Amino acid sequence: MKSSLFLNAPQALLFIDPFNNQILEFNNKAASLFALEHKDTGNNVTDLSATHFFKGCIEELIHVTQQVLAKGKAWSNDLFITVNGDKVYLDITANAVDNKILFSCQNANLTFARYHQAIAQAEYQAGIVHWNANETVFEGIERQNQLLLSAVGDGIYGVDVNGNTTFVNKAAEQILGWNKSDLVAKNIHEVIHHSHENGEHYHDIECPIYAAFKDGEIHSVDDEVFWKKNGEPVAVEYKSTPVTENGLLIGAVVIFRDITERKNIQEKLLNAIKEIDTLKHRLEMDNAYLLEELNADFNHHQIIGQSIKVQHMVKQIELVGATNANVLIAGESGTGKELIARAIHEVSERKARPLIRVNCAAIPAELFESEFFGHVKGAFSGAISDRIGRFELADGATIFLDEVGEIPLQLQGKLLRVLQEQQFERVGESKTRHVDVRVISATNQNLQTLVRQNKFREDLYFRLNVFPIHSPALRERTEDIPLLVKHFIDKVCISLNRPQPDVSVAQMQFLTQYHWPGNIRELENIIERQIILATSNKVSFTFLAKESLSNKSLANKTFTDDLFSEAPIQHQPMDSIDHLSASVSPPLISAKAQKLLEKNNVENVLRRCNGKIYGKDGAAQLLGLKPTTLASRLKKYGLNKNDYVN
């Protein structure tokens, strides 16, 4: 027979086997609290597990179990059960009995309901009787819960409505280093909670512990500090629960826990995560570098090339792009001036709006003003409706004036006004309109010469030329030709659905020695034509050889020279290439001469790259070869890269 004292105990009791996760016995109060039913064989419920009732707080259950097995007793208010879908937190006192655990459970909402008293105002009005009653309430709390206060590992203390300490348990003494006699009847906030961790004063009106017996709410804080007797801070989490009597607030009970170790673990975890992020970022950077190495286009803002001139130009784009400065791009036709303008626009704060392009060379003289500023209906013959001009369309964005040297002199004054005042009128309208436009212009002419010839306004020139950028001719950046060739071959083959042909070193030599009067546009056209004409997987550019020899002196002349020359360069027309292709027989090269040519080419690349084989600006990259292939050719020709290091 089970003891009637156990069965009829005033608190819910569970006798648990922690090693087998079984509820061995329970009493009547536990049956009511946990909704258990006694079986005919008694109250042995070995078919039920403890985790069945604490399924929402398994981790806390394990923590309490370990504490009991280690110390013989424990207390917790972190465990809860679910009743009708609601969480019911329990105050549990646990004791070890022959490797088993006896749980004594109470509903936490009722734990302190027996210990209420009047708040300070009611006590003051009622006199000393109520003050004595308050002391009696807290003495009762301490006396009736002495076992709990002694067994629990968390610090517990009580405060009255004035913030004075009423009781302190042993765990609080151990955590804080203060004796009970040092704290009782003292304002505990001034003793252990007076400052924040950074040393800033902690006003009691901001203290959540004080708030508990002001607003009657439970206040929980998961990261603050209490101050120990030796002046050191201790990281704590705490819960301040109001104490009431007859509906009147008389103080609070504070339960706190030292979380120093937990914070150390969290800090280590955060450091580990940070290290992982650093390694991840490094890996991403490595991957990006490898992808860049594999990307034969070396495409920056769609500008292909790695020559010094291209790198300088890209750096200028990055510098001026973030500003609103007007930019003048000077360069020969076919060098990609519009591409530069788009790159500047894409790195600017105006990139959300489109780049508005105006080809000044394609606009009839009588329509310039309407094209730039728009017109109203009936402004001139043919103006059958209102029309928005390009500057109004570019409001808040960027306008690109290509071939700006073609703008008629009589219109340049109105353009200057837009640049200076950001104002204009539509043709046939007196209303002044305001715009916010950035101007990027381009020219293949020498604007300074046009200024001297009174064909271009000097003040307009200075307004446009705030930040000049030179677009280099292809003959100034011949080291970029292999990259450009591969880019255009890929582009054309995809467009024509053709297999990609091979370009030998000898054929690449013809391309690099040609003077390219039509620049990149001419290179793209020639590659497209030769791919169409190719009958195998190889393309030939030998027809360029004679043209290269006849124009060797021209190949060393740059557009920069032309800008400051009164006599412009007269390039041979594009159709001359077709004539050469038809009338000049391609030269024949013997196998021995081809090997010698390839060897000389490799030596030239090694000298240019200072013996560098791999990576950015390496010889393999410039030749369009894999580094392992280039290494094999060095061995084949008996070349040592170290012989070419300056």
Mean pLDDT of 164-183: 88
**Measured distance CA(367)–CA(466) in Å, rounded:** 27
Grade residue 233 by pLDDT with cuts at 50, 70 and 90: very high
Instruction: Decide if pLDDT at 242 tops 50.
Output: yes
Mean pLDDT of 595-610: 83
pLDDT at position 583: 39
Closest by Cα among 125, 85, 99 to 20: 99
**Measured distance CA(111)–CA(145) in Å, rounded:** 10
Strands 155-160 and 248-258, by their bridges, are antiparallel
pLDDT at position 41: 39
pLDDT at position 332: 92
pLDDT at position 589: 60
Grade residue 185 by pLDDT with cuts at 50, 70 and 90: confident
Give tens-digit pLDDT for 257-292.
998 888 888 888 888 888 887 667 556 644 554 454
The residue among 115 and 36 whose pLDDT is bigger is 36
pLDDT at position 294: 45
SS3 388: strand
Instruction: Decide if pLDDT at 341 tops 90.
Output: yes
Mean pLDDT of 400-423: 92
For residue 496, which amino acid is it? L
**Measured distance CA(634)–CA(200) in Å, rounded:** 71
Specify the range with the lowest mean pLDDT, choosing from 133-142, 254-263, 300-309. 133-142
Instruction: Decide if pLDDT at 63 tops 80.
Output: yes
Give tens-digit pLDDT for 475-524.
999 999 999 998 899 888 888 888 888 888 888 888 988 889 999 999 99
- Residue 268 exposed, middle or buried by CB count within 10 Å (0-12, 13-18, 19+): exposed
The dihedral sign for the CA sequence 71, 75, 79, 83: positive
Give tens-digit pLDDT for 5-15.
888 888 889 89
Percent of the chain with pLDDT over 90: 26
**Number of other CB atoms surrounding residue 49 within 10 Å:** 16
Give the start-end residues of each E strand in 142-272: 155-160, 165-168, 219-227, 233-245, 248-258
**Measured distance CA(54)–CA(74) in Å, rounded:** 17
pLDDT at position 436: 93
What are 87's strand-pairing partners?
Answer: 82
The residue among 639 and 440 whose pLDDT is bigger is 440
* Averaged pLDDT score across all residues of the chain: 80
**Measured distance CA(8)–CA(2) in Å, rounded:** 11
pLDDT at position 354: 85
Tokens found for residue 216: 């009657």
Mean pLDDT of 229-250: 86
Grade residue 217 by pLDDT with cuts at 50, 70 and 90: confident
Closest by Cα among 495, 572, 586 to 540: 586
pLDDT at position 461: 94
Give tens-digit pLDDT for 574-602.
343 334 333 344 455 666 667 777 888 88
**Measured distance CA(336)–CA(474) in Å, rounded:** 10
Q: Three-state SS across 93-118?
A: EEEEECCEEEEEEEEHHHHCCCCCCC
- Greatest mean pLDDT among 21-25, 324-328, 480-484: 324-328
Instruction: Decide if pLDDT at 188 tops 70.
Output: yes
Q: Provide the whole-model pTM.
A: 0.43
Give tens-digit pLDDT for 525-583.
999 998 888 877 888 888 887 665 555 544 444 444 444 333 333 333 434 333 433 33
Mean pLDDT of 31-44: 64
Mean pLDDT of 32-60: 73
pLDDT at position 394: 87
The dihedral sign for the CA sequence 389, 393, 398, 400: negative
pLDDT at position 445: 92
**Measured distance CA(564)–CA(305) in Å, rounded:** 26
The dihedral sign for the CA sequence 285, 291, 293, 299: negative
Exposure string of 314-338, with b = 16+ CB inside 10 Å and e = fewer, is bebbeebbeeeebbbbbbbebbbbb
Give CB contacts under 8 A, 24+ apart, made by 458-464. 459/416, 460/412, 460/413, 460/415, 460/416, 460/419, 463/326, 463/416, 463/419, 463/420, 464/326, 464/328, 464/404, 464/419, 464/439
